[in-house]
Amino acid sequence: MNTNKINTNCKYFLGHIPCKIHKEQGNKCYDCDKYQPIDYKILIIKLAAVGDVIRTTPLLHKLKQEHPNSMIYWITYTPEILPDIVDKKFNFTLENTLVLENTHFNKAINLDKDAHASALMNKINADEKYGFYLKDGNPAPCNELAEHKFLTGLFDDINKNNTKSYVEEIFEICNYKFSGEEYILNTIDNNIDWHLNKSKKIIGLNTGCGNRWVSRLWNFDYWVELIKLLQKENYTPLLLGGPQEDERNQKLSQITRAEYKGYFSLSKFTSLMNECDVIVTAVTMALHLAIGLKKQVILMNNIFNPKEFELYGRGKIIEPKNKCKCYFSPKCKNEEYFCLDSLTPDMILNAIKDILK
């Protein structure tokens, strides 16, 4: 067989092993009715936290709409969270960066303003580049489209005055207009029986915020009070979290008898969240999973610009009565009061009741 007849530009072509179609049907390139030619290659560099990766997925709608026969590559620390619309998923390793550095792309997008992601952008061979690259050892905007996002990351006053959501900003960086495109999540496993009483509204309570951002950690006693208020209103509180929240959630469950199923892999955790009617959370990965699941969300926010978050009209952002003085700070710097103490359980309860009307 002449190697010139091999369709190396086919969506299914792998180069080192038989493709899926050949394994399933025995087809060879010269007579294959499943041939899907790729006419455009796109690279997305978004390495950061799971939540940030999830809230970047709306871009995929626009990219596929503009380039329906494209192949989309994405490199990240968490390729397992990427939806199936992404053709090639790469973990951020030396081996994978070597592959990307030696692949020609029509469009490359880097949305991480950090040195290593920006350095990788410098190495990428692409006709068009959007987002950020490395200049004199520091991240810099590739062009004027990324200047707004660059400045909001440098100066608190500019960030506070920003009126655009994160999704709007990344669409602008890529020279698109955001039109309500939703997050894209992998298919959820709905075959798990979580043994929850669905005759009552299930209120998911994501009780943590990670060990770094303790400035947004709500008071333990407030969680106890909120759970009791929810039970009194005939709702079913369901405690959510990962290993960092396990001890807290076990204690809350012991004190209040609230439902707590434990902590799970990302796919199972997403399945459990999908059981909820409303999800109460701080700014965490769970927030973006909830948005991706199209759930009603009560977002407790104190240290970020609320305009940053796109809830798609599903839910409310609740902030403390007392002004937060710890803008974008992992730890509270205010010696007078802790602002989240003025965000009370009855405020959360009233917000839940409002959106369930």
Question: 152-172, pLDDT tens digit by residue?
Answer: 999 988 998 999 999 999 999
Say yes or no: 352 and 213 in one domain: yes
Say yes or no: 258 and 302 in one domain: yes
In a domain, 55, yes or no: yes
Query: In this structure, are strands 202-206 and 40-45 parallel, antiparallel, or unpaired?
Result: unpaired
Mean pLDDT, residues 294-299: 98
Q: Which residues, 6 or more positions from 350, have their beta carbon under 8 angstroms from its beta carbon?
A: none
How many domains does the structure of the chain reveal?
2
The CATH number of the domain holding residue 294 is 3.40.50.2000
Query: Rounded distance, CA 165 to CA 66, Å?
Result: 22
Say yes or no: 211 and 341 in one domain: yes
Q: Is the pLDDT of residue 260 over 80?
A: yes
Confidence of residue 4 (pLDDT cuts 50, 70, 90): low
SS3 76: strand
Say yes or no: 206 and 169 in one domain: no
H or E segment to which residue 356 belongs:
helix 345-356
Number of CB atoms found within 10 A of residue 216's CB = 23
Say yes or no: 210 and 142 in one domain: no
The CATH number of the domain holding residue 131 is 3.40.50.720
Q: Is the pLDDT of residue 1 over 60?
A: no
Residue that terminates a domain, selected from 157, 173, 189: 173
Say yes or no: 101 and 138 in one domain: yes
In a domain, 46, yes or no: yes
Are residues 206 and 226 in contact, defined by beta-carbon separation less than 8 angstroms? Answer: no
In a domain, 209, yes or no: yes
Mean pLDDT, residues 46-50: 90
In a domain, 12, yes or no: no
Say yes or no: 240 and 142 in one domain: no
In a domain, 306, yes or no: yes
Say yes or no: 262 and 145 in one domain: no
Per-residue burial over 304-330, b if 16 or more Cβ lie within 10 Å, else e, is bbebbbbbeeebbbbbbebebebeebe
Q: Is the pLDDT of residue 330 over 80?
A: no
Query: Rounded distance, CA 266 to CA 277, Å?
Result: 19
Query: Rounded distance, CA 25 to CA 191, Å?
Result: 30
Mean pLDDT of the chain, nearest integer: 93
Say yes or no: 227 and 351 in one domain: yes
In a domain, 231, yes or no: yes
Say yes or no: 49 and 136 in one domain: yes
Say yes or no: 67 and 115 in one domain: yes
Query: Rounded distance, CA 320 to CA 113, Å?
Result: 30
In a domain, 135, yes or no: yes
* Percentage above 90 pLDDT, the chain: 74
Say yes or no: 251 and 296 in one domain: yes
Whole-prediction pTM: 0.92
Can you give the residue range of the structural domain that contains 147? 40-173
Eight-class DSSP state of 65: H
Query: Rounded distance, CA 253 to CA 247, Å?
Result: 10
Mean pLDDT, residues 118-141: 97
In a domain, 86, yes or no: yes
